[in-house]
Structure 1
Amino acid sequence: MRLTIASGAAAFTAAFLLSPLFGGGNWFWTSLGAVLAVMGAGLLSSRLALPAWAAPLVGLAVTWIYLTFAFTSDKAWALLVPTKESVVELVRLLGVGWADIQRYAAPVPDTEGITLLTASGVALIAIVVDLFAVRLRRAALAGLPLLALAMVPATILPDPISWPAFILAALGFIGLLVADGHERVGRWGRAVLVRRTRVPAGPPAAGSMPANGLRLSGKRIGFAAIAMAVLLPALLPAMEPVSFFTFGVGGTGAGRGNSISIPNPIANLKGQLELPEPQEVLSYTNSDNIPRYLRIYALDTFDGQQFGMTEPKGAPQNRTDNGPLPEPTGLGAGTPKKNVVTDIRISDQIERLAFLPLPYPPRQIQVDGDWRADVDTLMVFSTREEAAGLEYQVQTSEPQPTADLLDSIGDREPNVDPRYLEVPDSLSPEVRQLAADLTAEAGSRYEAAVTLQRFFTTDGGFTYNLRTQGHSASALRDFLLRDRAGYCEQFAASMAVLARLVGIPSRVAIGYTGGVQLAGRWSVGTNDSHSWPELYFEGVGWLPFEPTPAGAAGQGSARVPEYSQPRPEATAVATAAPTSGASSVADDTPQDPQARRNIRELEAEGQAAAGTVDVDESMPLIGMIGIGAAALALVLLIPAAIRLVTRTRRVRSLGRDDAEPSGDRAATASPGRQPSAVVAAWAELDDLLYDYGIARVPSESPRALARRLAEQYELEDDPAAALASIAAAVERVLYARNPGRIGPMRQDLRTVRKALAAWVPRGRRVRAVLLPPSTLRRLRGFGERLLDGFDLLETIRLRWTAAQKGS
């Protein structure tokens, strides 16, 4: 019975790991009922002593009855007994649930079909766990089906598993192992509790074994393992993937199963830009032979620190092989368009990319596999396919707005999802004021957008630099108001935030610039990774802007859109009165392939020719190794520091309480009172012996210990007298009503230490200083006392059992 209940509890605690996958709580209670039904079937099988192969069949039957009652009771006989109609309805609900999972992305709504699928899956896991742990007596193997539950959120969700859920699931599995150990050891006889207490335990019964002693050790190991699994990852530095073709920490989730994971596309953007030798990601040709930005992700949410992406949703009708894709949001019939056909070939070495790089907006895609379009953003993704080595054709209908057109529609109220205008209240007031000041004289939203772009490219004094701060509200404020140095991700995100503050819907696109034309094909490499903002204008839709300064762009093929450039009359004025940096914005589409090369490469070549190559400010490997070794040495010296502080405190106290008590104080001194100097001296002597590896028998009196040490180590007269003096002082404090005057013991303790050190090998003396065993003993004892706290539950259970037997 104990093992059956433990197996059910382990299955249910592991089911808590599924919580992030659902948007409601119905699945929880339904799964709990399914686990209870399996537990009931297991108890029935154990009661009837059924063979191991029959117990799972009973579990399946009981689960079927429970699911019939929970979902199709109106079609069952007496609400419980399955009928033909109830079976048909269950099958239909399973099909609906499967379709819903295909349609929705996590967190999914807990519809009736999804709840049925979840409860059925948890019940099957519980049945397998019961089979391994109870029927086959292989409790350790029961961890495999429990691990299957953990793998579902781990492979679907980008975030790590919640540590409270992990702890709960681990405790459930440890409880199963403890119950199995209790059942096995309990067969040998009565279990006797073994504890480190001052009250001696009674002798065990004949044939018995110290079962609880073994079990408590197992619990300590289990709790320690859980603590290390939770705490160590928090203490270790975060690691990012080294692969140059991976988008996001842990990859994008290449589409295993029925949901895709949200990538963190910004995570590797900087890493690709810093590659010394760019690698080709893709190549393409198009019908007009003009390079275009290829968007992969559209980040639409802003939390005050960085932009994130709402997980896309692809319905079956939005599959690419079903014909044209959904119409782009906001693009009106009156806006002129240009139809372009692009043939794209992805490198076969790209890893875990489940999104297609596409020019925006795609109208129709011819690609092999199950690829679907998100209606809101027109990102094309797959939950089953990977883009590596893929070849596909994209037909686009690109809006061709002019500055006059955008100016004329700039005052139209945007009819778009409110999330594209959301900015947290915690955003710095200085940033809000900056947005208002920059666009104060703009006559329309379009003029405000152009003003913001010009602020980053020319007017604001921004520079391109890969060595920037991280993501935080203060980093955004410092970038806009103080440092004004960053790379494309900072420029794109900052312009998108300022646009939202002035009422322009915005999002951040992540992808690639047009690349370099080689042998008739446009080649796009890792150095062409780019980020840019997309702003929304009613009647035209989403348009890209380019806030990265053109004079220091990290991508040789980055370009400012024609509709966002100054009008011809403004260009004429600028030509008459040129200003620094203005010409670089107008001429943004170089025709020479050499000019399209990454500007950082050209700058490095020029500096090398002039003999003025920048010094790499990053720390060399030997320096990083040295810092790591120093940090490790400091950690290892913690016990030595604790020992030094303890010994110093004791030595300082050796001169205290050495005066003889007199008068009423001496008369009322209790036998248990110990002057601090004697306590400190005896404790220091005890640690000294332990550090030097000198055995001390617990039954020895202080006088007997002093006599044995003097004889065993052949101490001279002075060390022997000093040791005898310390022992006499300890005995007087312990046993005398009035210990009298206690002389100074600092010199005695120093004499004893020198005498004993002369008999100890040098290696042991070094260890006593650098890694003192006495301090390690205290640290180990502290950890054991913490783990002993968990044993209180066992004590309560034993006492409750003993009380019941006594009654």
Structure 2
Amino acid sequence: MRLTSAAGVATFAAALLLYPLFQGGAWFWTSLGAVLAVMAAGLLSSRLSLPAWAAPPVALVATWIYLTVVFAAGKAWVLVIPTKASVMELGRLLGVGWTDIQRFAAPVPQTDGITLLTAAGVALIAIAVDLLAARLRKAALAGLPLLALATVPATILPDPISWPAFILAALGFVSLLIADGRERVGHWGKAVLVRRTRAATSQPASRNGADTSGLRLSGKRIGFAAIALAVGVPALLPAMEPVSFFTFGVGGTGLGKGNSISIPNPVAFLKGQLDLPERRVVLTYTNNDDKPRYLRIYALDTFDGQQFGMTDPTGLAQNTTDNGPLPAPPGLGPQPKIGNVVTKIQISDEIRKLQFLPLPYPPREVQADGDWRADVDTLMVFSTRDEAAGLDYQVATSEPLPTPELLESLGGTRPTTDPRYLKLPDNLPPEIGKLASDLTADAKTDYDAAVKLQQFFTKDGGFTYNLRTQGQSNSALRDFLLRDRVGYCEQFAASMAVLARLVGIPSRVAIGYTGGTKVGDRWQVGTNDSHSWPELYFEGVGWLPFEPTPAGSLGQGSARVPEYTQPRPRSAGEAATPTPGATSSSADEPVAPQTRRNPRELDREGVVATGGLPPDDSMPLIAKIGIGAGALLLLLLIPAGLRVLTRNRRVRNLGWKVSAPADELTSAMVSDASRRHPSVAPSVAAAWAELDDVLYDYGMARQTSETPRALARRLAQQYEFDAESAAAVAAIASAVERVLFARDPGEIGPMRKDLRKVRQALAATVSRGRRVRAVLLPPSTLRRLRAVGERLLDGFDLLENIRLRRTAAQKGS
């Protein structure tokens, strides 16, 4: 029964790690009830002595009844007994819950479907833990299902697991291991539980059983020490990111890739924004041509058959935004005309955990406070330490203005971009490849093929925009393209990117915002403007956005189809019209290729508003290591500091009272002699306690049976004290005996000089290493710290003793 209860406690303690995933507390109480139902079923199985294989079915039935009562009582018989209608209701809620967790980003809202799914999952973990720990007696293996609970928030959330929640989960698992150990020891006889006092530990073991306190003490020490190290060590060490050999952290200037950043799931970010119940303003912006622009945050470049993902961006110190122009856009040649635009963006203060800047593409130069860096391959601008919330920044873009004729003329140029932009999984359904071939059979160039693919989604394919759909997978992708043809922007963008790769066009998926709506003199972008679109690569122009998502009232309201994807006759003198992703300034007219300067050579003063940016405040790795080493040194010096404080309290003043007696003699001196001789006892007790600590620090601890006079005589003879040192230790011993045993101790002079003389004499008899250890890691202080830990562990034993005494009393009654 103890193991069943410990398994339930461990499961619920681990389930506390899930709290950042949810809004509200419904999941907490419902999951607690599910764990209690599993515990009740386990206790019943133990009471009936059922075989190990029968316990899980009993727990499943108990969980089924519990979930029926909570979520489908109205359709159950007498509110408890499951019926066909209640089973159908639970199945419906499970389906709704699964759909909801696909739609919402963490923290998810408090819905019946999500709560049911969570409680059922926690119950299954509880059943697995009970089976392994209480039935199969494999308590250590029970940590695997508990670990599954920890991996859920660890893989979904960008932030690390909260250390208080981790401590509770770890304590739950340690308590399960301790309960299992007690059960095993109990099979060998009656366990004698004693408190670890000096009197108890000095007594022999009881005849009725073995004293297992030492075993329990070791186990608890190991468990608590492991938890303390797991929480404390990462907090003390400097924050270091994986870097290449010749690159030194965020501030490095080496030859490597630079430091990398862990990012949230961009697709989950998009879903969470689109599914918010009400529109919230994300950012506002103005630009010098007053035209809307797509603002890209993420560029997803890998496709695993399930969905598009993002390679972690890297940035060197020379690519920080305050070091001048960003790297040149990949693939941009001299052919297209360029429009130079300056955009000023203000992020809302309500945005949280966003470490990528929404930017029009391609950014040429960015002015932003903080350590922001550009990824060379994608020109995403990110930070490893700053967030975008409340940030005002300015971005200058040099946007290519291609015409259909120019893109047609590039048809014979093979792309030189990274092969990962063409990579597809081997298990992609062949029907999708055939669809791509059929749609582009008449295309003469890559541009022509790209336009046909876009028109398939926006005009010819009969697609419908709807947020209530599932994400990408092989089967979902096939159903979306060939059967259902209902989805939202992420599916349209991913599907077009896959089809483009199938016909040899490098592609990736961008996630960010559309241009928003005009409010007053600013463009306003809300959560409903969150969007995903494909970017296709054309050698000589670079990456260009396409728009397969239906726009207008039947789709993404602020989506715009780029004008270069709509071939039309142009007069000889007609200039290309800018697109939402690449528009020219009315003040900065398109520049002819032969007169255009390299974007990286443009002057800051001519494009971006003047005003210096703060210098690079990146902290070098050597400084981080120094801070970490300093913190570790301060931690190691805590015992030395405590020893100095204790010695100063005792020696510098003669009126101290001993707060932590070193042994029974000092304790008796304070309790008894202070009552009889209140004027002199505290000072003598302080001197004796200090002498006792000095002896312990130097490895000369006093024997328990030694009187003060015998100790003084032994020290003077054994270590060959000189006359002054022998007289000093004899004076201290005499004062102690007079305070302890004399009716009138008489006058006791100052002992500060005597104590100093004895300490110097003792120090001269030991090695230098022993003296250094006595200063830096004094054993007397470590003894007191260890005693504090043992007292804490004694509290657990006291609780165990109380429980066992009650059990015995109940049996006797």
Equivalence map 1:562-573=2 (5 Å): 566=587
Taking structure 1 as reference, are residues 600 and 674 closer, same or farther at Cα in structure 2, changes over 3 Å only? farther
Contact 1:732 1:739 in 2 (8 A): yes
Amino acid at match of 1:781: A
**1:747 match: secondary structure:** helix
- Does structure 1 residue 522 correspond to structure 2 residue 549? no
Higher relative contact order (CA 8 A, sep 6+): 2
Q: CA deviation at 1:112?
A: 3.5
Contact 1:249 1:264 in 2 (8 A): no
Taking structure 1 as reference, are residues 264 and 229 closer, same or farther at Cα in structure 2, changes over 3 Å only? farther
Contact 1:7 1:129 in 2 (8 A): yes
Partner of residue 215, structure 2:
214
Contact 2:728 2:755 in 1 (8 A): yes
- Does structure 1 residue 746 correspond to structure 2 residue 752? yes
Taking structure 1 as reference, are residues 108 and 194 closer, same or farther at Cα in structure 2, changes over 3 Å only? same
In structure 2, C-alpha distance between the alignment counterparts of 1:249 and 1:264, rounded to whole Å: 14
Q: Deviations over 1:579-615 (max 9, x none)?
A: xxxxxx889998678622376999xxxxxxxxxxxx9
Partner of residue 761, structure 1:
767
Q: CA deviation at 1:246?
A: 11
Equivalence map 1:523-602=2 (5 Å): 566=587, 595-597=598-600
- Does structure 1 residue 6 correspond to structure 2 residue 12? no
Specify which of 698, 702, 724 is matched with residue 696 of structure 1.
702
Q: CA deviation at 1:141?
A: 0.8
In structure 1, C-alpha distance between the alignment counterparts of 2:225 and 2:514, rounded to whole Å: 61
Moved more, 89-98 or 147-156: 89-98
In structure 2, C-alpha distance between the alignment counterparts of 1:799 and 1:339, rounded to whole Å: 89
Q: Deviations over 1:46-93 (max 9, x none)?
A: 223222222223323333344444444555555555455554444444
- Structure 2 unaligned spans of 5+: 245-255, 275-295, 300-310, 359-400, 422-449, 462-471, 481-485, 545-556, 562-579, 606-614, 658-672
Q: Tell me the matched-pair count.
A: 604
Partner of residue 134, structure 1:
134
**1:738 match: secondary structure:** coil
Partner of residue 605, structure 1:
none
TM, length-normalised to structure 2? 0.59
In structure 2, C-alpha distance between the alignment counterparts of 1:727 and 1:630, rounded to whole Å: 42
Partner of residue 225, structure 1:
226
Partner of residue 162, structure 2:
162
Partner of residue 302, structure 1:
349
Taking structure 1 as reference, are residues 272 and 677 closer, same or farther at Cα in structure 2, changes over 3 Å only? same
Partner of residue 741, structure 2:
735
CA RMSD of superposed structures (Å):
6.0
Contact 2:22 2:107 in 1 (8 A): yes
- Does structure 1 residue 274 correspond to structure 2 residue 389? no
Taking structure 1 as reference, are residues 506 and 697 closer, same or farther at Cα in structure 2, changes over 3 Å only? same
Equivalence map 1:322-333=2 (5 Å): none
Taking structure 1 as reference, are residues 215 and 622 closer, same or farther at Cα in structure 2, changes over 3 Å only? closer
Q: CA deviation at 1:153?
A: 1.5
Q: CA deviation at 1:378?
A: 11
Q: Deviations over 1:167-196 (max 9, x none)?
A: 332232222222212211222222222223
Partner of residue 116, structure 1:
116
Amino acid at match of 1:522: G
Equivalence map 1:792-807=2 (5 Å): 793-794=799-800, 797=803
Partner of residue 192, structure 2:
192
Q: CA deviation at 1:142?
A: 0.5
**2:154 match: secondary structure:** helix
Contact 1:702 1:730 in 2 (8 A): yes
Q: Percent identity among equivalent residues?
A: 55
Contact 1:299 1:507 in 2 (8 A): no
Partner of residue 28, structure 1:
28
Contact 1:9 1:172 in 2 (8 A): yes
Amino acid at match of 1:302: D
Partner of residue 46, structure 1:
46
Contact 1:143 1:173 in 2 (8 A): yes
**2:653 match: secondary structure:** helix
Amino acid at match of 1:45: S
In structure 2, C-alpha distance between the alignment counterparts of 1:182 and 1:90, rounded to whole Å: 40
**2:772 match: secondary structure:** helix
Partner of residue 725, structure 1:
731
Amino acid at match of 1:250: S
Taking structure 1 as reference, are residues 805 and 97 closer, same or farther at Cα in structure 2, changes over 3 Å only? closer
Equivalence map 1:421-570=2 (5 Å): 445-446=520-521, 520-522=540-542, 566=587
Amino acid at match of 1:226: I
Contact 2:655 2:683 in 1 (8 A): yes
In structure 1, C-alpha distance between the alignment counterparts of 2:51 and 2:339, rounded to whole Å: 68
In structure 2, C-alpha distance between the alignment counterparts of 1:159 and 1:117, rounded to whole Å: 23
Partner of residue 610, structure 1:
none
Contact 2:42 2:59 in 1 (8 A): yes
Moved more, 716-725 or 234-243: 234-243
Amino acid at match of 1:43: L
Contact 2:721 2:761 in 1 (8 A): yes
Partner of residue 250, structure 1:
262
Contact 1:253 1:261 in 2 (8 A): no
In structure 1, C-alpha distance between the alignment counterparts of 2:767 and 2:339, rounded to whole Å: 76
Partner of residue 477, structure 1:
none
Partner of residue 397, structure 2:
none
Partner of residue 670, structure 1:
676
In structure 1, C-alpha distance between the alignment counterparts of 2:505 and 2:180, rounded to whole Å: 52
In structure 1, C-alpha distance between the alignment counterparts of 2:811 and 2:36, rounded to whole Å: 30
Amino acid at match of 2:219: G
Q: CA deviation at 1:139?
A: 0.7
Contact 2:17 2:165 in 1 (8 A): yes
In structure 1, C-alpha distance between the alignment counterparts of 2:141 and 2:273, rounded to whole Å: 29
Contact 1:722 1:752 in 2 (8 A): yes
TM, length-normalised to structure 1? 0.60
Partner of residue 650, structure 2:
650
- Structure 1 unaligned spans of 5+: 312-336, 351-357, 402-408, 415-444, 450-498, 525-538, 544-558, 567-584, 603-614, 658-666
